[in-house]
Amino acid sequence: MLEHILSFQFGGFYGGSVGDLLSYWEQAGVFSYVLPFLLIFAVVFGILMKIKVFGDNRSLNAVIALVIGLLSLQFELVPIFFSEIFPRVGVALSIILVLLVLAGLFLDPNNKAVNYGLLGVGVIVFLAVLVKTAGYLGWYSGYWWYANWPSILIGLVVLGIFFAIINSAGPKTKVPDLYGLWRPEPRPS
């Protein structure tokens, strides 16, 4: 009797539950292939439309986004990466949301120190998600990381010096208005 009541409570109106539907979608490859493809396609298409490399040619941008989306799913790397990072991102967003609610209750939202503190916690949670995902996929663990961390550090220092030199260059000169040198005279009407 109790099992019939419980199955009635958890059952859907049409004989199935949301869990069964999600399980069916998982078996059909919706989460491993369809949703990652749609996400990659949408992001690449949006970037191409925004930067207008090919002008406003929507069909060319769509073909390029389609090719990149399909090629990214050729191997198991993208589905495994998405299946590892997005659950962690969901947990991280939950932690940040609880922190924001508690901070909103007890702290002044106009205080810059509070805002920077919340930003720091957000950055730490974001880095924890990336490190845990990279650790699961084997990107930072093992001998590779220990053997190459000095090279990575040197590369970051060189990039920092490069950007510091670019930003500290002498006074910026204004580019002359070459069109202003020759302007056609307005015709009298």
Question: How high is the pLDDT of residue 142?
Answer: 59
C-beta separation of 127 from 96 below 8 A? no
Nearest one of 144, 87, 151, 96 to 118, comparing CA atoms: 96
Q: What angle do CA 9, 15, 21 make, to 5 degrees?
A: 95
- The Cα–Cα gap between 64 and 119 comes to 36
Per-domain boundaries in the chain: 10-74, 75-141
Confidence band, pLDDT 50/70/90 cuts, at residue 45 = very high
pLDDT in tens, 174-188: 655 555 555 566 667
pTM across the whole model: 0.56
pLDDT at residue 1, rounded to an integer: 47
